[in-house]
Amino acid sequence: MSTVKETVEVGVPLHTAYNQWTQFEDFPNFMEGVEQVTQLDDRHNHWTTKIAGVQREFDTEIVDQLPDERITWRTTSGDTSQKGSVRFERVDDTHTRVELVMDVEPSGAAEKVGDVLGTIDRRVKGDMKRFKEYIEKRGGESGAWRGRIRPGETGGPTPL
């Protein structure tokens, strides 16, 4: 399993950066290779990706979500195995530091070669740069979900 980490400072307030990240269905706008994300409920998303001509589908579960601080997820089924966390830190009233850390298990021969060559790391760095451009160009979030999901919860999220 490979760990990739990237931090970017975006020129929007903390709540704007966080709110936009909760709009999973917008991810194809800034994540290379992500064709579609379908939000199934507050915790679960279905992903369709196509990278180097290889299409993959998988499901993710949010295991921890604290508004304006972090979102942590893991895959639950499908063609890929990963887990990760994105953290948000206020720099000042108009700037936010966004840090993404992912553990990715390459699933096929092409992905394993790409991992050795640093392709996953470059993709994540590019995605974070595109997130910065996307949110700064928009100037505001396209929506928001501000519920709290705690590790180990089995029911619905806790409203704030």
d(CA 122, CA 119): 5
pLDDT class of 81 with cuts at 50, 70, 90: confident
Sheet-wide strand order for 70-78: 2-10, 95-105, 81-92, 70-78, 54-66, 44-51, 34-39
Predicted pLDDT of residue 138:
93
Predicted pLDDT of residue 159:
52
pLDDT digits (tens, 9 = 90+) for 44-77: 999 998 877 888 899 999 999 999 999 999 999 9
Task: Render the burial of 56-95: b for 16+ CB within 10 Å, e for the rest.
Answer: bebbbbbbbbbbeeebbbbbeebbbbbbbbbbbbeeeeee
Q: Tell me how far CA of residue 71 lies from CA of 61, 102, 117, in angstroms.
A: 11, 12, 28
pTM: 0.88
pLDDT class of 118 with cuts at 50, 70, 90: low
Question: Is pLDDT at 20 greater than 70 in this prediction?
Answer: yes
Question: Is pLDDT at 102 greater than 80 in this prediction?
Answer: yes
d(CA 69, CA 65): 8
Q: Report the percentage of the chain scoring pLDDT > 70.
A: 87
Q: What's the mean pLDDT when you consider all of the chain?
A: 89
